[in-house]
Amino acid sequence: MVGHRLVSALRDRDAEGAWQVTVLGEENRRAYDRVALSSYVDGTSEEQLRLPDDDLRADPLVALHLGDAVTTIDRDARTVRTASGASFGYDALVLATGSTPFVPPVPGRDLPGCFVYRTLDDLDAITEAARAAVGRTAPGRRSAVVVGGGLLGLEAARAMRLLGLSPQVVEIAPRLMPVQVDDGGGALLRSLVEEQGLKVRTGVSVDGIRADADRLVARLSDGVELDADLVVFSAGIRAADTLARKNGLAVGERGGVLVDDRCRTADSHVWAIGECAALQGRTYGLVAPGYAMAEVVADRLLGGDARMTPEELDMSTRLKLLGVDVASFGDAHAAAEGALEIVVDDPVAGTYAKLVVSAPGGAGGAGTGADAPTLLGGVLVGDATRYGSLRPLVGSALPADPVTLISSGGAEPDAGALPDSAQICSCNAVTKGALCAAIDDGAHDVASLKACTRAGTTCGSCVPVLAKILTQQGVEVSTALCEHFAYSRAELFEIVAGAGITSFSSLVASHGTGLGCDVCKPVVASILATLGSIDGRGGHILDGEQAALQDTNDHFLANMQRNGTYSVVPRIAGGEVTPEGLIVIGEVARDFGLYTKITGGQRIDMFGARVEQLPAIWRRLVDAGFESGHAYGKSLRTVKSCVGTTWCRFGVQDAVGMAVELELRYRGLRSPHKIKSGVSGCARECAEARSKDFGVIATEDGWNLYVGGNGGFTPRHAELLVSGVDSATLIRTIDRFLMFYVRTAERLQRTAPWIEAMEGGLDHLHAVIVEDSLGIGADLDAAMAAHVDSYADEWRGVLDDPEKLSRFVSFVNAPDTPDPTISFVTERGQNIPASTPEPVLIGLPEVHR
């Protein structure tokens, strides 16, 4: 990573092309984001892990030589030789070899099934071994031992769990993350981690590993033996300094290539940066100090005089991904003389926060007197949302009483109050001053700020602060829907509802400009449909002028596929369908030659219908009792369910019954984006309800409601909104949740980002919906009741109306002629689109002069 940064910084500044760079890498891959390594297990691809500036490889002055480790350096001849025997000369040699995982010298550590956690190759090997274990070992016995309970160990443990093994973390220190977290935070961290299904043993070490048939047994220092399919060592790292040692370059006392504050070794042609470097004797295991070193060397190579200032290096860390929020920054252990600790420990809420501050100028205690205490560091466990705004304050006077800064609901430090020197992005050492300069130069949104300063491109924890700085610098992040409306969707909703507007043309005349477009028209169509259904006007989405606003999917009440045909999805509420229903679907699909597939939402999708076939297909489906499944709409899709008490031995509530009731209640509700739901009959969660916008899980004494989950590009688990409620309360809560969402979310904003963007987040949502803090509860209830009453099947509405039916033709002048561009081939016994000849790029029309 650091080597990549050097090349990118050098190529950025070396305008004359003075340096020709050759990158020699042992890994057979281009540079990738190791900090985000663990997301690879979640399905992030190698391509998505590429670092910014990956296009350097196209630069003629940069040559990559990968999959070949450097084995020797000849400092006199100034050449290096690689394992494959290739040799390269140099004027400057920069070592950026990183670290190697430290594996304690215990017997058995080389057995098959033992791994380290550092590279993509390691993760590929671990994934493969975990798959084999899942195939081999009975459920309930699949397990992995993770040696080391630091930041890395916890990431590794989470990866094990994702791969289907239950992880046991063995940490020699008395608490988890001993480097970052203090005892108080460690205790809470442990209980949070255990809630996530990880087992933790602290104060013990692994003494040896032995094979037992096709599994492993790890013996601990207290005599306990743990069975495991895999053992992952993440017990620390050692600077990769072998090259220096072999070639007579000095190394630090605790390893690492010894360099001065220019990052240069005693040999004036050899430099070292990143984790392999011992800067004035000390190594750094984080990426930010490495990036700083890369910048210094780039500057030096170009004749500059940049220096490292180790006392300014930021060692802040935040645990990513585990679902447990932990962060530590600055002087977390109050090592500075006279430092005071202020702790807010709330075991009920599951949060622990500590700030370390300096005792102000001798007189008075912390927080008293004129000069406010200076923030030195802190630890946040359970809720680290303040990390982004507190960390940059390190070294500055606290803007408010420290206790309120770390109490929930207390003052949030204001990004505006930060001095220009405050480092906002610690990974890339970007100060507030640099960000403000970029904003002045025209970077007016988060994406362009990221692109031109690199802030937020590594661990991402400062991104919320970037947005705040933008606002605070007076940049209005435009919420305008499109060029025709200066309003956001939520604002338009209020306008349309408040002014009683019933058509796009009157809305655009009174509040917009122009003819509209494919962005605003469907949004307004959706708002009109929602309002129509809740103010009792009812009406069909294809009535009158409204029809012209609909996206093609809504316009034909079917989902357009890549060859211009449509797919047809009848509603199968809760995934429950009779054999007769299945037979009708089968017959329709067979008679119209449709490809059938079971969807993830527990229903059946029929593909390949031509537009002129849709009415005949639906005539048969409606006659058999089916109705539109709204697969085409931004509206409720499905409520997936497990069989619950109906059949399952474990079920504690009627999951199918509830799912059917919910699906029928919310069907047809037009919303800012699609809405998915699920109901599980017990905590085993077979319906995957927590990956849904609203998910219901049965408990012994009622239902738990989770909100804000989704799959897709950025998967999110839904979070608990209410627990143990009866059916009526559950339904009322969902009514309000959905209505509030429909009213206030932005275009194409799913529930998760909607909640995230809400000031106060889930707590605020809870206040509005459960405690009725805004006093709109009765309104929301009435709106949903009206929606439920006014529901009518959209397909039946079309079949009953000759005018609407007349639009379902292939050609206006040849209504029964099938579109000649559509053709099918057979694959696995079904029709699929014949691959289109390479998309035809039609040139400009000829101009005849």
Ligand X SMILES: Cc1cc2nc3c(=O)[nH]c(=O)nc-3n(C[C@H](O)[C@H](O)[C@H](O)COP(=O)(O)OP(=O)(O)OC[C@H]3O[C@@H](n4cnc5c(N)ncnc54)[C@H](O)[C@@H]3O)c2cc1C
List 256, 644, 672, 709, residue binding ligand SF4 (CB under 6 A): 644
Stretch that binds ligand SF4, among 197-205, 444-452, 503-511, 675-683 (CB under 6 A): 675-683
Q: Which is nearer to another protein, 303 or 837 (CB)?
A: 837
544 C-beta neighbours (distance < 10 Å), count: 10
Q: Which is nearer to another protein, 59 or 819 (CB)?
A: 819
DSSP-assigned states of every residue in 34-65: GGGGGGGGGT--TGGGBPTTGGGGG-TTEEEE
The answer to whether residues 42 and 715 touch, using CB atoms and an 8 Å cutoff, is yes
Residue 355 pairs with which residues in a beta bridge? 342, 378
* 714 contacts another protein (rule: CB under 8 A): no
* 849 contacts another protein (rule: CB under 8 A): yes
* 648 contacts ligand SF4 (rule: CB under 6 A): yes
Stretch that binds ligand SF4, among 92-100, 180-188, 547-555, 646-654 (CB under 6 A): 646-654
The answer to whether residues 303 and 137 touch, using CB atoms and an 8 Å cutoff, is no
Residues with Cβ < 8 Å from 655, sequence gap 6 or more? 641, 642, 643, 644, 645, 646, 679, 680, 681, 687, 696, 698
The amino acid at 781: D
Stretch that binds ligand SF4, among 308-316, 391-399, 679-687, 721-729 (CB under 6 A): 679-687
* 415 contacts ligand X (rule: CB under 6 A): no
Smallest gap from Cβ 552 to another protein, in A, equals 4
The answer to whether residues 679 and 692 touch, using CB atoms and an 8 Å cutoff, is no
What residues between 285 and 304 interact with ligand X by CB under 6 A?
Answer: 285-288, 290
738 half-sphere exposure, CB direction, 13 A CA radius: 37
Smallest gap from Cβ 813 to ligand SF4, in A, equals 54
Distance of CA 639 to the CA centre of its chain: 24
Stretch that binds another protein, among 43-51, 330-338, 468-476, 837-845 (CB under 8 A): 837-845
Smallest gap from Cβ 546 to another protein, in A, equals 10
* 155 contacts ligand X (rule: CB under 6 A): yes
Q: Cα-flanking dihedrals φ and ψ of residue 691, to 5°?
A: -100, 15
Handedness of CA 689, 690, 694, 696 (dihedral sign): positive
- What is the size of the binding site for ligand SF4 (CB under 6 A)? 13
* 548 contacts another protein (rule: CB under 8 A): yes
* 35 contacts ligand X (rule: CB under 6 A): yes
* 708 contacts another protein (rule: CB under 8 A): no
Stretch that binds another protein, among 67-75, 431-439, 770-778, 831-839 (CB under 8 A): 831-839
* 713 contacts another protein (rule: CB under 8 A): no
* 38 contacts ligand X (rule: CB under 6 A): yes
431 half-sphere exposure, CB direction, 13 A CA radius: 11
* 656 contacts ligand SF4 (rule: CB under 6 A): no
Distance CA 292, CA 297 (A): 9
Sheet order of strands, 317-319 included: 317-319, 326-330, 375-381, 351-358, 339-346
Q: Which is nearer to ligand SF4, 650 or 811 (CB)?
A: 650
Smallest gap from Cβ 703 to ligand SF4, in A, equals 13
Smallest gap from Cβ 693 to ligand SF4, in A, equals 19
Q: Which two tokens stand for residue 556?
A: 């034909």
Residues with Cβ < 8 Å from 244, sequence gap 6 or more? 95, 250, 251, 257, 258, 265, 272, 276
69 C-beta neighbours (distance < 10 Å), count: 14
What residues between 264 and 303 interact with another protein by CB under 8 A?
Answer: none
Q: Which is nearer to ligand X, 288 or 573 (CB)?
A: 288
Q: Which two tokens stand for residue 121?
A: 């190759």
Distance CA 275, CA 35 (A): 13
Stretch that binds another protein, among 74-82, 268-276, 557-565, 753-761 (CB under 8 A): 557-565
Distance CA 501, CA 20 (A): 65
Angle among Cα 181, 182, 184 to the nearest 5 degrees reads 115
* 684 contacts ligand SF4 (rule: CB under 6 A): yes
What residues between 308 and 327 interact with ligand X by CB under 6 A?
Answer: 317, 320
What residues between 89 and 148 interact with ligand X by CB under 6 A?
Answer: 96-98, 117-118
DSSP-assigned states of every residue in 774-795: TS-HHHHHHHHHHHHHH---HH
Q: Which is nearer to ligand SF4, 365 or 600 (CB)?
A: 600
* 823 contacts another protein (rule: CB under 8 A): no
Distance CA 377, CA 381 (A): 14
Question: For residues 207-217, b (16+ Cβ closer than 10 Å) or e, as one string?
Answer: eebeeeeebbb
* 607 contacts another protein (rule: CB under 8 A): no
- Quick note: the x/- pattern for ligand X over 253-292, rule CB under 6 A, is ---------------------xx---------xxxx-x--
Q: Which is nearer to another protein, 79 or 503 (CB)?
A: 503
Residues with Cβ < 8 Å from 623, sequence gap 6 or more? none
* 639 contacts ligand SF4 (rule: CB under 6 A): no
The answer to whether residues 588 and 598 touch, using CB atoms and an 8 Å cutoff, is no
Q: Which is nearer to ligand SF4, 377 or 651 (CB)?
A: 651
Stretch that binds another protein, among 386-394, 699-707, 726-734, 839-847 (CB under 8 A): 839-847
DSSP run (H or E) holding 745: none
* 223 contacts another protein (rule: CB under 8 A): no
Q: Which is nearer to ligand SF4, 378 or 681 (CB)?
A: 681
* 575 contacts ligand X (rule: CB under 6 A): no
Q: Which is nearer to ligand X, 24 or 577 (CB)?
A: 24
* 551 contacts another protein (rule: CB under 8 A): yes
Q: Which is nearer to another protein, 524 or 734 (CB)?
A: 524
- Quick note: the x/- pattern for another protein over 466-485, rule CB under 8 A, is -----------------xx-
Handedness of CA 638, 642, 647, 650 (dihedral sign): negative
List 70, 324, 355, 572, residue binding ligand X (CB under 6 A): 70
What residues between 446 and 465 interact with ligand X by CB under 6 A?
Answer: 459
Angle among Cα 759, 318, 334 to the nearest 5 degrees reads 105
425 half-sphere exposure, CB direction, 13 A CA radius: 26
273 C-beta neighbours (distance < 10 Å), count: 30
Burial environment of residue 581 by CB neighbours within 10 A (0 to 12, 13 to 18, 19 or more)? middle
* 144 contacts ligand SF4 (rule: CB under 6 A): no
Stretch that binds ligand SF4, among 65-73, 262-270, 586-594, 643-651 (CB under 6 A): 643-651
Distance CA 665, CA 675 (A): 13
Q: Which two tokens stand for residue 3?
A: 């080597």
The answer to whether residues 97 and 244 touch, using CB atoms and an 8 Å cutoff, is no
Q: Which does 642 bind (CB under 5 to 8 A by kind): ligand SF4, another protein, ligand X, none?
A: ligand SF4
* 670 contacts another protein (rule: CB under 8 A): no
Contacts to ligand SF4 by CB under 6 A: 642-644, 648, 650-651, 655, 680-682, 684-686
Contacts to ligand X by CB under 6 A: 1-3, 24-27, 34-35, 37-38, 69-70, 96-98, 117-118, 152, 155, 240, 243, 274-275, 285-288, 290, 317, 320, 459
Contacts to another protein by CB under 8 A: 483-484, 505, 514-518, 520-522, 545, 547-549, 551-552, 555-556, 560, 562-564, 806-807, 810-814, 817, 819-822, 836-837, 839-849
